[in-house]
A and B are shown apart, each in its own frame.
Chain A
Amino acid sequence: MFDAIRGHLAASAPHDAVRAAHHAAAAHGEDVSARDEKSAAVVFEGTAVERFRQALEAVAGRCFVVKDEAEAAEVLRQIAGQRKSQRVAVSDSPLAGRVLKLAGLPAEVLENAAVGELFDSDLGVTGAQWGVGETGTLVLESDAERHRLASLIPSAHVALLEARNVRHTLGEVLRAINERGEGGLSRAITFITGPSRTSDIELTLAIGVHGPAELYVVVIGGEGNG
């Protein structure tokens, strides 16, 4: 197949020469994502955390900014209470473990839940490695935590996010991950922006088709590094 690709590319060479204004040459090897970062950050005159909250709520997610883990536990208690949660699946994040313990929920708490148990859980509690202010996006890295399924299968997801890990743009997060080099790239990275949604029937928005119908993000540590 490489022969076919090389053959056809070679056939194109004379045509390419004719097309003088070929902009690929100008961009050869250039990092196309690096340029507009600063401008994007200055457009918003608040902290990255505030920006995150606004963007997340605009896509039907709920965001709580709290001072410390005790406050986070209080928020979690309210959410679980309102939803009358019976079975809560928690990831192996130490932060999630601590907050859950502080919350002392009157529900069954499953650590390291098997897939079958996850299908029977009504709330998943995990950490998140990054937040993106511009879009209200959570970034989950599989090397940091086992949260791939706990954030996906239960009908509601509570994510605990440290304020210092919130950035303004996705570009900043992608570069930070990339700069760690080969060993620093998790096998599964998941970006989550709001609850699961579909517009497949007459373009009418419906929330919660396959993933969680409710997404709550608790940002811990106040205003972060906006």
Chain B
Amino acid sequence: MHQQTSETFDRNAREALADVQLRGALRNLATTFGGRRKEAIATVEDWEGLRDRARAAKDETLAHLDKYLEQFVGNAEKAGAQIHWARDGAEACRIVLDLIRARGASRLVKSKSMATEEIHLNAALEAEGLAPVETDLGEWIIQLAHETPSHIVVPAIHKSKRQIAELFAEKVGIEPTDDVAVLTGAARRILRRSFAEAEVGISGVNFGVAETGTILILENEGNARLTTSLPRTHIAVMGIEKVIPKFTDLDVFLKLLPRSGTGQRLTAYQSLITGTKRRPEDEGPEELHLVLMDNGRSRMLSHPVTRQSLACIRCGACLNACPVYQQVGGHAYGSVYPGPIGAVITPQLSGLKQSAQLPYASSLCGACREVCPVKIDIPELLLHLRAEVTEGTAAGTAAQHGPVKSRPLERLAFGLYARAWSSPTLYLWGARVARLLQGAVVRKGRIGKVGGLLAKLAPPLAAWTEWRDAPPLAPRTFREQWREEQKR
């Protein structure tokens, strides 16, 4: 298999389509989580209203992000947290590394966090001779296998039970078994040792409450609770967009996130941590370090269309609902954020130049927008980014990452298309000409790639016709039939 990057989405996707086991796993994901989600949202009376309120809370925060961040940081500091600012991933990794070094620590446990995946924190720590232990079962599996997550909620969804059993047999020496309870029990036993001796715990953050300086971490396994309460030092890495205004806003987000992600009313655990312990006899870490990371986020604030990307609460529902993700899985996107949300934030975080194919990795069917608990209009964002790709300028991203490869022929074709469809005369004339010409391209009742004249004549259009069929035009148009009806 070749190195999978965002630049090679087309090739990655084709390889994934040939992987029968992967496609079975993805079908299971779509039906299981899709079905549970439907049942779970039926237990809420006003789902639409909740979505609107969550989005309003996010919009309010993002429109005044400076103010809310200041408030959040002030309150967290007052409660004893130490704040660190990271402009990019390298800076965030450096901060974490320095904190670990300054404490002479080497035993590190981690709970699942997309922010630390985004900045490749583990690789940065390993390069310095440290060995952070992932403790979420799915993350631990892919760490043992030296792979990357293929889903933002269930990172090892691409692996079968049998592959995991073989992996455990090889790496941790347990008898191969297809009993999931036995595999899970082995993970518990082995990781307990890591927890018992850990000096530093590293976590992500799901929500940061401006009003109180509280961080909330959501999970099912209990590993995040152990990571954030046993070690002496807790380091939490959070994107600057995680802030919400009020403590009671948590209610809305806790109704939406688990229902959308795994179809649960609530995940098994939420840890709400406000600073460090108050009295010496209290349990929990002595120190809490919050690493607030930009890494391309503030740039997204500069336009209302791109800004909505920052409302994402990483529930994973858009992945589960996406017909493209369901076929190709997470690795094809070549980025830590796959699926519809990945197709829009990866180009914005790492530059359109490296991921110009991603905004096209969608059929614009709108299933993602339909399920998104914070009503992010992902199709709108995809179109916005496609426009940047064809313009070749990519406002903001271009300045950072150089010009994007332009698609002038596609721009020309769509320009003509738009003109024809917006003028009644041109449309009527075009339809008449097309009907006369279509004899040359219709095969088996479809206009498609099979020996299609269009495909042969126009190479840039071939990219469209190769994978898309269009029904042929009717011999008489609706307009013509309507006029005749009226005359009778």
Contacts and interface: CB of A to CB of B under 8 A. Distances in A.
A178 B214 CA distance: 12
Given A152-B225, A170-B254, A12 B307 contact: yes
A12 B69 CA distance: 18
B72 interface: no
A203 B276 CA distance: 35
Contacts of A4: 87, 294, 298-299
A8 to B, nearest CB: 4
A146 B188 CA distance: 24
B12 interface: no
A192 interface: yes
A198 B111 CA distance: 14
A211 to B, nearest CB: 3
Interface string B150-177: 0000111100110010000000000000
Contacts of B302: 8-9, 11-12
A191 B217 CA distance: 10
Contacts of B314: none
A197 B246 CA distance: 29
Contacts, number: 261
Nearest to A18: B304
Contact of A146 (B45, B160, B283): B283
Given A135-B265, A135-B266, A199 B55 contact: no
B280 to A, nearest CB: 12
A200 B141 contact: yes
Interface string A32-70: 111110011001000000000001000100000000000
A171 interface: yes
Given A188-B272, A190-B271, A196-B221, A208 B161 contact: no
A178 B220 contact: no
A212 B220 CA distance: 11
Interface residues of B, number: 101
A166 to B, nearest CB: 16
B248 A178 contact: yes
B355 interface: no
Contacts of B63: 9, 16, 24
B60 A8 contact: no
A149 interface: yes
Interface string A107-124: 000000001100100000
A101 interface: no
B53 interface: yes
B438 interface: no
Interface stretch (B119-127, B132-140, B406-414, B452-460): B132-140
Chain B interface helix/strand/loop/mixed: helix
A196 B191 CA distance: 15
Interface residues of A, number: 79
A179 B278 CA distance: 20
A162 B321 CA distance: 42
B247 interface: yes
A78 interface: no
Interface string A179-219: 00010011111111111111111111010111110000000
A55 B50 CA distance: 21
B156 A201 contact: yes
Nearest to A203: B32
Given A146-B283, A201-B156, A174 B60 contact: no
Contact of A197 (B79, B268, B273): B268
B372 to A, nearest CB: 15
A20 B59 CA distance: 14
Nearest to A12: B302
Contacts of A212: 222
Interface stretch (B178-186, B199-207, B361-369, B442-450): B178-186
Given A1-B292, A24-B59, A193-B267, 17 more contacts: A6-B66, A9-B66, A11-B302, A15-B303, A24-B56, A30-B56, A142-B283, A178-B212, A187-B273, A187-B276, A191-B269, A200-B138, A200-B156, A202-B28, A203-B32, A208-B185, A210-B222
Per CB-CB distance, the 4 closest pairs between chain A and chain B, nearest first, are A211-B222, A27-B56, A24-B59, A200-B138
6 contacts: A12-B307, A27-B57, A34-B248, A152-B226, A204-B180, A208-B188
